[in-house]
Structure 1
Amino acid sequence: MEIWGHSANDVGERHTLADHLRGTEKRARRYGARFHAGELAGYLGRVHDVGKGSCAWQNGLLRAEASGGRVGIPHKHAGSHLAFKAGLGPLANVVFGHHGGLQCRPELKTALREARTDHKASVDEAIDRVSQVVPEILEGPGLPSWVQDAFTSAPLVTDVLVRMVFSTVVDADRLDTAEHMDAIARPDHPVAAGDLVERYEQARLARLEGRAPSPVDADRAWVYEQAVAAAEGPQGIYRMPAPTGSAKTYAAGAFGLHHARRHGLGRVIVAVPFTTITEQNAKEYRDLLEAPGQEPVVLEHHSGIDLDSDGGPGNRWAKLASENWDAPFVVTTTVRLFESLFSHKPEAMRRLHRLAGSVLVLDEVQSLPDRLLVPILSMLRTLTEHFGVTVLLASATQPAFFDLSPFQDVPASDVIEDPAPLYRRLARVTYSWWTDPAPTREELAEHAAASPSVLVVCNTTSQAQELHEGISRHRHADGPVLHLSTRMVARHRQDVLAQITELNNAGAPAAVVSTQLVEAGVDLDFPEVFRAFAPAESLQQAAGRCNRSGRLEQGRVVVFDLIGDDGKASSGGEFIYGAALEATREHFGPGKAWPDSPDVMDAYYKDRFKYTNVENDGQKIQDARRDADFPEADRLFTMIKEVSIPVVAVPTRYAEDAERVREMLGLLRQGVPPGGLLRELRPFTATLPRGLAERKAAGLLAPVVGDLYEWLGDYDDERGIVIADTKEYVF
């Protein structure tokens, strides 16, 4: 009697279990070979579904095939037992969790005990039956010496090894199953990152030829050359400190591709902190690396990308590639990257093995949360030392990561050996401090309104809304007064950003009041910038929007506090930034350094990390990883601490879309699956902090589905959702 692994596909063919086990084994071995664990991964792929060989499971499959239901019979104990019996220890979790997720050590021990007691009859039966058609399931691979060492003395390395091998088996299993169900081969992407170097270089040169020259072009070219030269170095951890406006996006991509070619690496993965920058960078890289008619090579993967829409072959490719990052160039968010690395769920972890033998570019690394730095840096170190990953840390304000315990004895290579002269050459602004005495809101608004073209960056949405209102009252210069914050729905923000860019490019005047969302990676250029006092890296990022093209002799950045209703001076960011703001005031301000001083910035970070107790933060996550408690590490690792809720609103400027939005909300309330509908609603979605919504706006929010709400209150056509009398922060 044939032993089946999956029910009949659309052409009426069943999948034999022998074919499925060997197909999964073949792929998993190939993926695991990238980090010298090919035999381990292959064996676990070979045994992962052995439990399906029991008569009970086979009969259940036939019933499910006839009824369209599920088999409903566990099948993970047999393969887990074989893996443990083969001496693979914690790697038995790979088989046990390949559907439900990696489990904690006590849960795995219980399952292995049950395989020898409660489930012994079905386990023995499955192993006996499957071994007759796949005798290799009885042949364990043994452990490489580096794995044995990790098991005995390096629990954090063991943690990453289990995650990586788990990823290979889950991906191989899903791909082999998909090939059967779709009756279509699913080969890996044929292009490697190193194959794209010439395409990238030629497209960059063509773009430069079509651009108007800028006074900073020579320095941008020098940064690019340094990145290409550094890419010839050995694998490891690299730092790329370069001022804002020095074309880090191009240089980082060049480093990744040239380094991949030098070392035969499969892909470049670029992770950035915010979705808006992800979209911008993905477009830049796609314009350089893709042309009509060519096979797609740039995967953009984040919560804002619509992979469900009918976008033709390119979109279908992206939907499939997003499942496992099977693309030579991936652009994603740091949230998606690190929450996948610390997850315990198969769908999130499926892509992790693609990191092995890759270049990982972490852009704007100053945005990584202090409280998670220890587990993040520990993870990066293990990836570079054991899994063939090169990490590039890119930032204008390089944090003092190498003073923290995970990186203290790690050698680092610098893309730019002595960046101080570059920072001096690209110092395009002067700083002044309006903090003692501090202005009132009215004084600041009147002063900013007098500037023909100015950007004001605030710490809170209420501060931004008040200043926008004040500047609008006092504005006598030509040009509009515009506002940006996440209280505005996404489409509104994007349209305003496009309007600002158009005004910038035309040299036309405008006053813009924004929260921090304009600071990292948004390509704006103003002669004058006002910035509410904030951590030093935020001050420098805001300065990066001032005289960005270097066409002025000097731009002007004014750092301000404001006199509050209580008569005291405040930046509005004290409860947001805490000790980081304290460390900034110690090192930067009137009579002290400017934020574009790399040496002082280094001292600032050292104090900041001390004040915020970075070394102790994240230790519970590290303890969970040492204890092989994968669900607990997943629960504790949360990149976004502030819980926000998505709120759907339709501004009057988009009134023609109101009926469709109401229709989609109605479908969601009726229980229609949300995937595609939620993505279609994204352009009309803003965010509110949950606590603020519950305290101040509960009566104006109508539940839709899950955490999604409909906004029933007023929507200001310039400032978005306005909730009076609040000081809460959202950007």
Structure 2
Amino acid sequence: MYYAHRTESNDRNEWQTLIDHLNGVGELASVFASYFNAASWGRLAGLLHDAGKFSGEFQRRLAGAPIPVDHATAGAKFITAAWGEKNKISRILAYIIAGHHAGLADFGSSSAADDSTLARRLVKVIPPYEEMFDEYMPDAAGQPLFPPLQKSLHAGMQFSMFIRMLYSCLVDADSLDTEHYADQKQSKLRKNNTSISELWVNYQQHMSDKFPAASATGLSRIRAELLMEVLDQAAEPPGFKSLTLPTGSGKTLLSLGFALKHAETHNLRRIIFVIPYTNIIEQNAQVFRDAVGAEHVLEHHSNAQLDSDEDTEMKDELRKLNKKLSLATENWDYPIVVTTNVQFFESLFSNKRSRCRKLHNLSQSVIVLDEAQMMNGEFYKPSLYALEELTRNYGSTVVLSTATQPDIRKRFDHPVEIKELISNLAKRFDPFQRVRLEQLGLVDNDYLREQLVAQSQALCIVNTRSAARNLFTEVKERLGKEIVFHLSARMCPAHRTKKLKAIRQRLKDKLPCILISTQLIECGVDVDFPVVYRELAGLDSIAQAAGRCNREGKLPERGKTFVFETKETPTSGWFGLTTAAAKTVMNRFVSDPLSLEALQAYFDELYFYQTGGGGNPSADKTDKHQILSLLAEEASQLSFPFATVSDKFELIQTATRPVIVSYDEDAHKHLESLRYAEKIGNILRKLQPYIVQIYPQEFNAFRQAGEIIEVREQVFQFQHPDRWYKDDIGIQPFTEEYHAQEVYVF
């Protein structure tokens, strides 16, 4: 008898047989891959992935012998030989089988010094397994398969994504089958079986209760009309969509309504909302929970994610099994998933098992990118091509949702159809023009402080945390802490939610209220100030800031948004590029710098700068790291640099470290549970509202001083929150030096 996994017991009747595991994984992977017409590929990957466990060496290791055994290479070598080395199509399966623990490798060279390349793995000498494998699974390879793909815009993107999708099917099936064997109780609790149809009913009830169309007047009536138009478009076939809605039109709920009705109409499986930043994900997720029910919404981002990149092959089998269970990240098998740009796009280009595990669940789904303009930057072009591929070959609908939409079609090298869900955009935007924009030019802190002190209610948004803290301190000294508020990502989400509640109440009661914030206030945070000051930034950011001004149109005249510069306003790098483009366009469109025409001109100007004037493809900063070129280089040979691309595709180069703050009694209770719990995934989710992201150097300084401690593996908390966590600014900088260095937005 051959076994795949064992328990702590030496009673082999309790061990999982290898043939059961291979068949179980093959069946699951087949089901997962069937959603993009690749069931046969998924089944074959599952049947072959642990072929090396038929070796005597692996069985002895499972029984306790301290010997390292590579069992993942066997299936890759088998399919290569069975389909013929000249038939490069076998590489599709070879990548995913060889990498089902260590990750997708670069194809590389067979002369590599180690086993880091697939080419080297395919010539590696491994323990014999063939005799028993052939006995148990005769003719396993069958005839070569053909990829079920329509012709794509980019062959490298097309085939590399197909490999990643199959890889996702295999590693999720492998994890789930193993979990089912090892922990059936947890396995049964995993799945949410609620149908999209049920959620659509919940949404309709919520909207009729909260926004009764019959009694709507003013902007509420226009919002109701927009909702009806968006819902009418849900019958359109799946594909690439654009949802351009003015700030203040209720875009979050409208996009949810379209996604639910569209998914229900076309029998799509789930809805995935992709939101720019971790710092604002909580608010959007709460809107969705209120609309459809909290138990149907999964929040997944990088705050407290357990992740593992190491190859577990060299660990003992029992520890590997426990590690796989404890490190299993969400596979997104949920009706509604809310995640971040970083989690979503880095997963799409990752080679890691844990990151890729969820990707197959993107097929036949509605993917809504909220504030889609925030995708812009060094990875814009490969991200767009990946989205288009999801609509082309995986039955997904992608919705780019924003108030400031660039013309995405211009960003592709070939014609792409993108359906706008709102007709007559100019007419739709007119009623929401509630703000007059004025440029103040270069000002100093004294001028800005005096302007804010003179206001009864005002919002001021600056570009960096240090600038926000400095200005907040100065204005608070003049007006007092009851009147002046501060928001930044140095405050945990629970703290920001509490502050926003107090701010909204003061605005509603017409009490004095001055808020000084970083950019996080702009993305979907529902506040309504009569006056807004915004430090010069990209025109899309300025438009978002203006959306917090006279939001409900209740002022007798238009609200005022003042754009100012300081000597610290960035003039280089990405921020310098966006501010230069914004100034150019604001000077061209003086009468209405926030019009659709002005915003389109801004994105055209920005794109012109990004692409080096359009005459030099190598100067294209929208694919600065040449991701598309790397994928295209040897695509005809199915030779892809998966590990290299994964390393290069890093949306945030200065990665922050999540640290938990014991902010209130709930946080304290969950932290106590975390210390001793056997399984911590649910506890970590409950702790997400209490996490602050700290940049690496300051994180290390706090940790060396004993102020940050590791409570579980790679899970950190502040040891003395009463010493470092302040009610007005959140985590105070470790030293004045770190305060001065904090020139990051948010």
Which category of TM-score, normalised to the shorter sequence, fits these structures? 0.7 to 0.9
Amino acid at match of 2:416: V
Shift of 1:594: 3.4
Shift of 1:180: 1.1
Amino acid at match of 2:427: P
Shift of 1:104: 0.6
Q: Does 1:387 align with 2:388?
A: no
Matches within 5 A, 1:21-40: 21-40=22-41
Per-residue CA distance 1:245-295 (angstroms, 9 max, x = gap)? 11111111111111112222111111111224321222221222227xxxx
Matches within 5 A, 1:181-200: 181-183=182-184, 186=188, 189-200=192-203
Structure 1 contact 430–554 (Cα < 8 Å) conserved = no
CA pair 321-549 structure 1, distance change in 2 beyond 3 A: farther
CA pair 495-605 structure 1, distance change in 2 beyond 3 A: same
CA pair 471-215 structure 1, distance change in 2 beyond 3 A: farther
Shift of 1:203: 2.2
Q: Does 1:522 align with 2:525?
A: yes
Match 2:464 to one of 437, 457, 460: 460
Matches within 5 A, 1:432-443: 432-435=438-441, 438-443=442-447
Shift of 1:631: 0.8
Match 2:287 to one of 265, 269, 284: 284
Secondary structure of the residue aligned to 2:35 is helix
In the aligned structure 1, how far is the partner of 2:408 from the partner of 2:537?
Answer: 20
Secondary structure of the residue aligned to 2:136 is coil
Q: Which 5+ residue runs of structure 1 have no aligned equivalent?
A: 65-69, 309-318, 565-569
For the aligned residue pairs, the C-alpha RMSD in angstroms reads 3.8
Structure 2 contact 708–716 (Cα < 8 Å) conserved = yes
Match 2:259 to one of 253, 256, 259: 256
Q: Does 1:729 align with 2:728?
A: no
Structure 1 contact 244–396 (Cα < 8 Å) conserved = yes
Match 2:450 to one of 431, 436, 446: 446
Structure 1 contact 445–474 (Cα < 8 Å) conserved = no
In the aligned structure 2, how far is the partner of 1:306 from the partner of 1:51?
Answer: 31
Shift of 1:108: 7.6
Matches within 5 A, 1:701-716: 704=709
CA pair 417-371 structure 1, distance change in 2 beyond 3 A: same
In the aligned structure 2, how far is the partner of 1:611 from the partner of 1:451?
Answer: 38
Matches within 5 A, 1:664-679: none
Shift of 1:119: 2.6
In the aligned structure 2, how far is the partner of 1:219 from the partner of 1:103?
Answer: 52
Q: Does 1:102 align with 2:126?
A: no
Q: Does 1:607 align with 2:605?
A: yes
Per-residue CA distance 1:316-349 (angstroms, 9 max, x = gap)? xxx9996211112111111111111111011110
Matches within 5 A, 1:216-615: 216-290=219-293, 296-304=295-303, 323-405=330-412, 408-435=414-441, 438-475=442-479, 480-562=483-565, 564=567, 571=569, 577-589=575-587, 592-613=590-611, 615=620
Please name the residue that 1:143 is paired with.
146
Shift of 1:579: 1.0
Shift of 1:138: 3.7
CA pair 575-94 structure 1, distance change in 2 beyond 3 A: closer
Secondary structure of the residue aligned to 1:487 is coil
Q: Which moved more, 1:54-63 or 1:622-631?
A: 622-631
Amino acid at match of 2:729: R
Shift of 1:462: 2.8
In the aligned structure 1, how far is the partner of 2:436 from the partner of 2:446?
Answer: 24
Structure 1 contact 529–546 (Cα < 8 Å) conserved = yes
CA pair 15-108 structure 1, distance change in 2 beyond 3 A: farther
Secondary structure of the residue aligned to 2:285 is helix
Please name the residue that 1:630 is paired with.
642
Shift of 1:529: 1.1
Per-residue CA distance 1:33-52 (angstroms, 9 max, x = gap)? 11111111111111111111
In the aligned structure 1, how far is the partner of 2:683 from the partner of 2:288?
Answer: 28
In the aligned structure 2, how far is the partner of 1:504 from the partner of 1:410?
Answer: 45
Structure 1 contact 576–729 (Cα < 8 Å) conserved = no
In the aligned structure 2, how far is the partner of 1:32 from the partner of 1:42?
Answer: 8
Structure 1 contact 9–182 (Cα < 8 Å) conserved = no
In the aligned structure 1, how far is the partner of 2:253 from the partner of 2:366?
Answer: 15
CA pair 456-108 structure 1, distance change in 2 beyond 3 A: farther
Per-residue CA distance 1:165-204 (angstroms, 9 max, x = gap)? 0001111111111111124565864344345322221222
Identity across aligned pairs (percent)?
Answer: 30
In the aligned structure 2, how far is the partner of 1:677 from the partner of 1:197?
Answer: 29
In the aligned structure 2, how far is the partner of 1:660 from the partner of 1:602?
Answer: 50
Please name the residue that 2:654 is paired with.
642
Structure 1 contact 525–547 (Cα < 8 Å) conserved = yes
The TM-score normalised by the length of structure 1 is: 0.85
Amino acid at match of 1:224: L
Structure 1 contact 428–553 (Cα < 8 Å) conserved = no
Amino acid at match of 1:444: L
In the aligned structure 1, how far is the partner of 2:119 from the partner of 2:704?
Answer: 53
CA pair 37-131 structure 1, distance change in 2 beyond 3 A: same
Secondary structure of the residue aligned to 2:182 is helix
Please name the residue that 2:315 is paired with.
none
Q: Does 1:620 align with 2:626?
A: yes
Please name the residue that 1:168 is paired with.
169
Aligned residues: 690
Amino acid at match of 1:592: V
Amino acid at match of 1:381: E
Match 2:72 to one of 62, 76, 83: 76
CA pair 172-141 structure 1, distance change in 2 beyond 3 A: farther
Secondary structure of the residue aligned to 2:235 is coil
Please name the residue that 1:42 is paired with.
43
Structure 1 contact 624–630 (Cα < 8 Å) conserved = no
Please name the residue that 2:313 is paired with.
none
Please name the residue that 2:615 is paired with.
none
CA pair 14-578 structure 1, distance change in 2 beyond 3 A: same
Shift of 1:133: 2.4
Structure 1 contact 83–140 (Cα < 8 Å) conserved = no
Amino acid at match of 2:72: K
Secondary structure of the residue aligned to 1:105 is coil
The TM-score normalised by the length of structure 2 is: 0.83
Amino acid at match of 1:31: F
Q: Which moved more, 1:391-400 or 1:682-691?
A: 682-691
Structure 1 contact 43–140 (Cα < 8 Å) conserved = no
Q: Does 1:130 align with 2:137?
A: no
Structure 2 contact 202–292 (Cα < 8 Å) conserved = yes
Structure 2 contact 378–625 (Cα < 8 Å) conserved = no
